[in-house]
Structure 1
């Protein structure tokens, strides 16, 4: 199925923030490939430009063998239905089946004084390289997370027509995908990602993502090449986002490579905010030298802050090396001036994170990977990180069973103000924390995975250098739910990180006592399924919970994208057995059950009805999750990280939007419950509370508490002026008796609002509460709400939709807005909404702004479909 998000052009925004100088370009098209079984010649012959490639097929680079096979229609889409079962698994075929040659012809010549470099940013798992008949590497390269660079100046042909040939071998340990977490666990013998052998949220990736999975680049320099520049920003004291700032200090180093046979003298310099810092150096021949530049004291700097707390200002730093006044090489780096601190909160007994001296309550999500088959794009990274900003989250944790994220991901996090906790590559499941009969090796053997500890440390050092300059990167983590082997962890913690970074907190593993003292027993994370709403408020979990989550099934429109028609069947819950009957394809896509939680909304009629009711549950689950943690910030908790907020394939669990970038109600429940200034209803004790996740004291706010029945009749439960200090949660009053009385018959709506003295709304929160039996009986009896919908295009790519509900109507409840194709009525993806699943009280109006990438052609329609509002499609004006 083709979706309109393929035309999404957000990648253009990244052209202005690339860390590459203009002397680099990517080899990302025109590749050809062939399985080794069809190739008799060796690399020396294949890499001669005259060698015929007529029988070879087009290859996807960056990409994997599977992405190439999919592009050439050799396999079905593994994300649809049961198609993944139709693709041969490498454990059964053997490695040769997915061992491929990749060839690229390119034009490049060398001028006098130039050096030409070939860079590989990621290959899985091992490979040999040939250029114009010559092998470039003396020893086969291994390791998914180790960049490789070659000076190819002398290997280029004078005609300018060159051929690069790369043979890529699968991981050494293929891993038996036997249904366990990481299959039989042996996938962790490699220095690579582990989820490819299958997990409880994904089926196995059949080629284990073998291929040239990340960028291949050509770089041209003068005689000196700048490598791995390192920028450290020091922001002493406690700062505020507004007003004049005391100075910040910029500390800078860079590696300078001199590949020539003679010593070279020159000047290393950079310019930031109009200030130039320079140093004259002499570089020995055939050497790489790290040079430290003098510190820059930057007056009145513009600081970088996490989302919700301040702006994300980025300076451009231009670094150059000059020989006799001529630029030999140049690198452009975006610099966010900020400082990360981590200290112990003795009340919660957990770490708390501060930025620029101000503690930040962490509201995070667990991120797996953008695409399970490693099809990464700037546009998709931008869209996904933007969704997390729109959820009012401020951190993403990169889970240890995946990979070190790509620079483009961090660029998006820098842009949107999302802090990052980066795990290294280990997991409790594969690396031996638990006794597991699904694993091939016992715990003692698995505790020593991977096989090559030296390769792990070399790869870690390289990846640290690759991403350490991004201001969003806040925390390093040794592994997921387990420490790395001691002879990896100690050198990493005590030597490599202090030398190569030294500015960020390193936590030994994701639920370590050093992060969150686990006085409650258990593994220190979870639970992962649906929970009673009051539990989020009254049950004290771990004080910095690295993994806790709930359900996440999309609606009918989402499900039909990857479920065959015959499997579009709603789960059926039995009160008698207490179990759900679930379609087999749903189980294959890792469905987590809604069980008895759908029943209170009435008997499910069909799948469309199930999807609509599931969204009510989704919204409530994630709103209450974040409200419950925020209600106890700084006394019970210093942070929470949701497991998980996105899926890299078409799974039926733990996601705020689906694989196709279509948001569900989870996203907007979080958007509401995570708002920086938020009024809320405590589901456990029926108090009204306010949380303030900003650095500002909020004064003179009017709190309005209103009960609304199913016919739209309103009753005031209180009106009072309130104030709240910065980074604080406080109880305002209890409405327990009023709620019990008003909701007992058929449930009710509870409207909570904070407004300024000018009656501008600061926080708006509407709850639907059950009757005395715990059922939402009134919702199924609600009269229809005939509302007025006005739409207009305010500017290119922006649409405003205003919903007006007449005074004597009932609440216009839970309206899902979308932009759709005028011919097919299918949703345009992605679209970013400033709110969705919105409700409008009688006599009021609400405006929603939609942001999308507008293309040439017919304008989309606006669709609206509510609980008691008839579906309609409205053309743009």
Structure 2
């Protein structure tokens, strides 16, 4: 009998456009842009203004072709008798026609689908077989679909309307952080499979029982078997030991020909099962599931087909309960409440075939190393590579998975619904075994269009058929189709209709801090509120917020190749920043807070310090509202965004080259297992509300008020599951002299487990010094446990631009072996090393307080720099 063999069709390809007669070599997977780059036929669209020069690529029709020879396993084992041969296309982007030996065998219009085509009857075993794939322009086809469906009001944000009916990565049309690069091509592998038996749709359902002294997991296995009579064996293995084994023999009478059948043995229980935990809460125990089809001929030991999955058991609950605030929104994993500190994720490259498993692993390591616990896969990108989720499984990172709908009112005509039904079913089936995936979400920001365009949405109406007759028919997708599919395909993972979304007695489609998740964009967008207000602008779960920053110097030089373009606001830098109005918003926030320099290095540094400050205000403030068991005020925060798809200026806290901005370190500090926080009352130095008669803000503000009206809070946030005793020390240090201006405060603290413990609330700084003689000072809080400092935090007087940072007395001393010690005689704000690819920095973007332990930083991989030390800067330097 023929064993199941897979032949990757990755080499021997050629490509060309319809307007070109010359075929050139190609690789698969790929996109046409990557092939054109490889042949030096286009400039790098990630550099300068080259994005504009490659726009023509998206308007062409492109052809890929290769020659296929049948594998020896097929020809030697009797293709005509017991074997089948399939062509499998894991992903075609997007409007693709597949032709084999002159006959059309497939037409695809959905980038997110895998296709399997029976090809045995068309393949000639004696000669080479020609396989060709033709890709039509997505924009043109999208406009044709819009015109073909006048019954639907296509409302599309961020981009032109053609993306609305097209099942393709929505960000390929450009976004406010990425270029317009409408790629096409076989973006995932193409393979030839030969088999007499094939295993498909392996599924392990389970329930976790936590009521006893140790976890009990009840498992139910099912798998589809295609092919001839065989013996099926399934094993669940943990650390090399078989925990559960199933076996069944299917006779030739029960199975004939190639008709599929379902293997579904009886359920069983695993007593004392090892559970999978998020990082910081326990180990990431994983099992291996092996399903094999074994021959019944001969000695009955020949494995005809095998499928393996790495699985983990965890119990996930999305807790949405009525409370004194409104309705909660937080995650409970294996019975433990988990505060989420994490990031949103966009595709890591505009050209998806370039993202290797190693690059995915590096990205997820950045999350774990940064004390982050969740990544939200945004709905305008892709269902990510299996390597992405495997990395999350192994490192304990929770995944919030959007379905691929973003910022649009999507159609519901029959062929569209059929396509997205297959899309959802395939991707749920592909990803459901990953224990890291803890939430499916219907869309990104689609519900916000209801309010903006006054679309029909009658919340009490629960008839899905009626929703299809409104001018917001996509409600049918998010509130009926997707949850129904999930209930059938992966019932142990919660579902959320959209982000943002609130649930309760009525729909909450606007930002509502009392219920559901919110996207908080009144910092940067909207009202451009000072970022110091972020702690009071939260909600039950903040799934988006952000503020932009420039990347480091090395990345800026890569995206702007001409030195003449390396200044703030140059044509190249402005073009590569896709955020609408970024010039005004960036300068507004910088001008409010800092003395704005004209040089690129100083300007970029201050944007990074500003972004890091905003992250600190948000993560510290919203984590504080985690509260304690019984009243979880805020369940988590996800910054927009972790990563970039190209070198650019954006909200990312890590740039395209995996180079961390200071904001990444600010999040890491705020998310330490034990983290002390200190914040003083915010004084708006530009305006204040007038009296009731005047009824408008005025600019009559005494800037000296912040010197004498000082009120502050100190608290400790803990993700530890046991009580911890420690000591908090609070110092008041002059910005001008570096000396303490008041005696320090010390408090013994008994930190509540998995909670926030308030230390000082509304504590007033008393002073007899008149305002004209008062001086600026920082408030520095440190947390000590067992004689060791485990966390510290600093509150600076705002705005920073009012402070004089002359004569800081900064010293950077080499201690050998890549270790450096940084100290200062006076307080230093925003000390930043200019990082670059290939260099690892242990800490960055920190403040230096005299009288505290000097900051030690390890810098690895900077041997080419002078003294192994990266360039550095601090505020006011």
2:61 aligns with 98
Answer whether contact 2:624 2:717 (CA < 8 A) is retained: no
Describe how 1:627-776 pairs up with structure 2 within 5 A.
Answer: 627-633=620-626, 634-684=631-681, 686-710=711-735, 711-714=737-740, 716-734=743-761, 736-738=763-765, 747-757=776-786, 759-770=787-798, 774-776=799-801
Distance change in 2, residues 1:271/1:326 (3 Å): farther
Distance change in 2, residues 1:104/1:416 (3 Å): farther
1:293 aligns with 265
CA distance in 1, matches of 2:834, 2:565: 25
3-state SS of 1:598 partner: helix
1:560 and 2:571 aligned = no
Q: Which has the larger displacement, 187-196 or 710-719? A: 710-719
3-state SS of 2:320 partner: strand
Q: Select 2:359's aligned residue among 364, 380, 383.
A: 380
2:425 aligns with 461
Alpha-carbon distance, 1:33 to partner: 1.0
Alpha-carbon distance, 1:589 to partner: 6.9
Q: Select 1:228's aligned residue among 201, 226, 230.
A: 201
CA distance in 2, matches of 1:25, 1:818: 46
1:356 and 2:382 aligned = no
Distance change in 2, residues 1:301/1:23 (3 Å): farther
Q: Select 1:828's aligned residue among 837, 843, 849.
A: 837
Q: Which has the larger displacement, 743-752 or 451-460? A: 743-752
Distance change in 2, residues 1:25/1:632 (3 Å): farther
Alpha-carbon distance, 1:650 to partner: 2.9
Describe how 1:303-318 pairs up with structure 2 within 5 A.
Answer: 303-318=275-290
CA distance in 2, matches of 1:739, 1:553: 40
Alpha-carbon distance, 1:478 to partner: 1.5
1:267 aligns with 232
CA distance in 1, matches of 2:193, 2:841: 40
Segments of structure 1 that go 5 or more residues without pairing to the other structure are: 1-20, 40-54, 432-445, 573-580, 793-799, 820-826, 872-877
Alpha-carbon distance, 1:122 to partner: 0.8
CA distance in 1, matches of 2:811, 2:197: 71
CA distance in 2, matches of 1:200, 1:740: 48
Segments of structure 2 that go 5 or more residues without pairing to the other structure are: 147-153, 448-472, 513-517, 683-710
Alpha-carbon distance, 1:84 to partner: 0.9
3-state SS of 1:350 partner: coil
CA distance in 1, matches of 2:622, 2:211: 25
Answer whether contact 1:746 1:777 (CA < 8 A) is retained: no
2:49 aligns with 82
Answer whether contact 2:317 2:332 (CA < 8 A) is retained: yes
CA distance in 2, matches of 1:655, 1:741: 45
Residues 453-507 of structure 1, C-alpha deviation per residue, up to 9 Å, x if partnerless? 2111112111111111111111111112236725544553453222211111122
CA distance in 1, matches of 2:175, 2:508: 28
**RMSD of Structure 2 on Structure 1 (CA):** 3.6
3-state SS of 2:176 partner: coil
Alpha-carbon distance, 1:675 to partner: 2.3
Alpha-carbon distance, 1:107 to partner: 7.0
1:570 aligns with 568
3-state SS of 2:603 partner: helix
3-state SS of 1:780 partner: coil
Distance change in 2, residues 1:662/1:392 (3 Å): same
CA distance in 2, matches of 1:491, 1:72: 48
3-state SS of 1:552 partner: coil
Which 4+ residue blocks in structure 1 deviate beyond 6 angstroms? 176-180, 515-520, 739-744, 857-861
1:36 and 2:18 aligned = yes
Alpha-carbon distance, 1:390 to partner: 2.8
Distance change in 2, residues 1:506/1:741 (3 Å): farther
2:597 aligns with 604
CA distance in 2, matches of 1:402, 1:197: 11
2:33 aligns with 66
1:122 and 2:91 aligned = yes
2:500 aligns with 511
1:335 and 2:311 aligned = yes
Alpha-carbon distance, 1:804 to partner: 5.3
Residues 593-645 of structure 1, C-alpha deviation per residue, up to 9 Å, x if partnerless? 32243344324141111112222212111111111211212453222332222
CA distance in 1, matches of 2:858, 2:205: 38
3-state SS of 1:305 partner: coil
Q: Select 1:188's aligned residue among 131, 139, 164.
A: 164
Describe how 1:39-50 pairs up with structure 2 within 5 A.
Answer: none
CA distance in 2, matches of 1:393, 1:22: 41
Answer whether contact 1:124 1:169 (CA < 8 A) is retained: no
1:801 and 2:819 aligned = yes
1:863 and 2:869 aligned = yes
CA distance in 2, matches of 1:179, 1:188: 8
Alpha-carbon distance, 1:211 to partner: 0.9
1:4 aligns with none
Answer whether contact 2:678 2:712 (CA < 8 A) is retained: yes
3-state SS of 1:594 partner: helix
Residues 812-865 of structure 1, C-alpha deviation per residue, up to 9 Å, x if partnerless? 65443467xxxxxxx333x4544322345446344445677x9xx989963244
3-state SS of 2:43 partner: coil
CA distance in 2, matches of 1:366, 1:626: 14
